[in-house]
Copies of this chain bind each other. A is one copy, B any other.
């Protein structure tokens, strides 16, 4: 028999997930011969075009790295001056650079390089004090990279450091997901396995190097052409990248090993760029408030605003920042990956085929949707068919179901509604978003009661956390709400309000800004003042440990309901 029969346990697990017996679990089924296996699109790991897109904010270019072209007087028998001394003297003489040092790997090739180009060379200098590259002749292009390491996805932005422009963007999955979905399970993996940290570290370093190869290919340069990288990520990702055990991040009082920013040669981390390229790791605040949130902060600059802002960075963990130039407080809450499209029956990451937005007609409950890869809503000529639903689509779906009264404020399905889009899967109701004919799956794409529950848990945590922060800060009203996160698309702010993702705020004062963490990394890449701002905001901002706030649990339970609608 090519395939072992369905086990009892397997059948139960499948039913729980609303899957029929055409599905098998890889952990249960045993192969005894040739079998054709179809891996559901949504669970494939290959080439997920995760759009961790950044809004390119206008940023003054004040980069850490500059190139200088020099022509040196060769040494003579009368003055057999060392090559390094000639070079440093010329850079001081012509460009006023003082106290320059030469990074060691550059030294090894210096003499051959200078002699190969008749003493004409282009010198790359980092932070006005270290020579990190010497190239023969005249070279003008200069590249940098910003990386955002998410628990689930890793995004890279390859930039022209001269103009500050983003030349190429790419997102890939964080291969660490194989060792745990969220940071707690990753931390557990490192403590339960003697080589756990090394394994997770190797996984993320390899992912970053894959990303680099892909990004540089897009614009036809080599990885060695990149002279600096800035990196953000939550504190667990941060520690694991640095090969620092995250063990204590999961133990009271959740203190990190290091919080200040780090400048470290990318070669030390195993990141394959120019041999002397610097990796600037942005600072972290606390065990659960990482460099990703710091990236959001320097992108949004609440410390420069009078308005009281609530910034919500939605990922597998949600981070909250509340305040203005007077005071800033912050918190982190485990919200699950539902809003990233994971733990959802037909959830998927933002990739071609993902339903990223949808609307439900309140009368006939007909659904219109937009699929990533198609220019327009619904089914345009030669359309890309739907494969699943990504985070922004899930928010729309649940909000639209609330507005159309398909689900009640409690999250239960409204039993009074009758529609052929409503299914009952062994007592678990589902609502059909896309008919089988509109998909590549050969089956309907639905939103199940389980999916609604996942969304409720996520938005409840964020809402309750926000209320705790508002009380701490002594405000009852939000002047502005900023929704950040690596969504497939910017989330529909009205629908976020409908869900009760955050306390009330005027709709025109709610902004959806995409991956602000990555944008912060990009801004720090092209402007060193932003690195200073990051250090300062880490000192300024206060962190509230929600698990130590007795009120949080009550608020959370209350916040599971959807708010009353006044539309």
A95 contacts B by Cβ under 8 Å: no
- List residues of chain B with CB within 8 A of the CB of A77: 252-254, 545, 548
Per the 8 Å Cβ criterion, residues 223-259 of A in contact with B are 242-245, 247-248, 252-259
Q: A80-B254, A257-B83 are in contact. Are A244 and B108 (CB under 8 A)?
A: yes
A222 contacts B by Cβ under 8 Å: no
Segment at the interface with B among A109-117, A182-190, A344-352, A520-528: A109-117
Q: Complex formed: what's the CA distance from A76 to B112 in Å?
A: 55
Copies in the complex: 2
Task: Give the contacting residue for A245; candidates B82, B112, B268; CB below 8 A.
Answer: B112
A286 contacts B by Cβ under 8 Å: yes
Q: How large is the interface on A (under 10, 10 to 19, 20 to 34, 35 or more residues)?
A: 35 or more
A428 contacts B by Cβ under 8 Å: no
Per the 8 Å Cβ criterion, residues 75-126 of A in contact with B are 75-85, 102, 104, 107-108, 110-112, 115
Q: Complex formed: what's the CA distance from A244 to B82 in Å?
A: 13
- List residues of chain B with CB within 8 A of the CB of A78: 253
Shortest CB distance A191–B (Å): 12
Q: Complex formed: what's the CA distance from A259 to B82 in Å?
A: 6
**CB-CB contacts of A518-554 with B at 8 A, as 1s and 0s?**
0000000000000000000000000101001000000
Shortest CB distance A22–B (Å): 26
- List residues of chain B with CB within 8 A of the CB of A247: 111
- List residues of chain B with CB within 8 A of the CB of A324: none
Shortest CB distance A127–B (Å): 14
- List residues of chain B with CB within 8 A of the CB of A243: 108
A264 contacts B by Cβ under 8 Å: yes
Contact B248 A115 (CB under 8 A): yes
A260 contacts B by Cβ under 8 Å: yes
Contact B84 A259 (CB under 8 A): yes
- List residues of chain B with CB within 8 A of the CB of A244: 107-108, 110-111
Contact A258 B102 (CB under 8 A): yes
Q: A104-B268, A115-B248, A264-B104 are in contact. Are A257 and B80 (CB under 8 A)?
A: no
Contact B82 A258 (CB under 8 A): yes
Contact A255 B81 (CB under 8 A): yes
Q: Complex formed: what's the CA distance from A548 to B76 in Å?
A: 12
Shortest CB distance A292–B (Å): 16
Shortest CB distance A499–B (Å): 31
Q: List 28 A-B contacts (CB under 8 A).
A: A77-B252, A77-B253, A77-B545, A79-B253, A80-B255, A80-B256, A81-B255, A82-B255, A82-B257, A82-B258, A82-B259, A82-B260, A83-B248, A83-B258, A84-B258, A84-B259, A84-B260, A102-B258, A104-B264, A107-B242, A107-B258, A108-B242, A108-B245, A110-B244, A110-B257, A111-B257, A112-B245, A115-B248
Given contacts A77-B253, A80-B254, A111-B257, 11 further A-B contacts (CB under 8 A): A77-B254, A80-B253, A80-B256, A80-B286, A85-B259, A107-B242, A107-B257, A110-B258, A111-B244, A111-B245, A111-B248
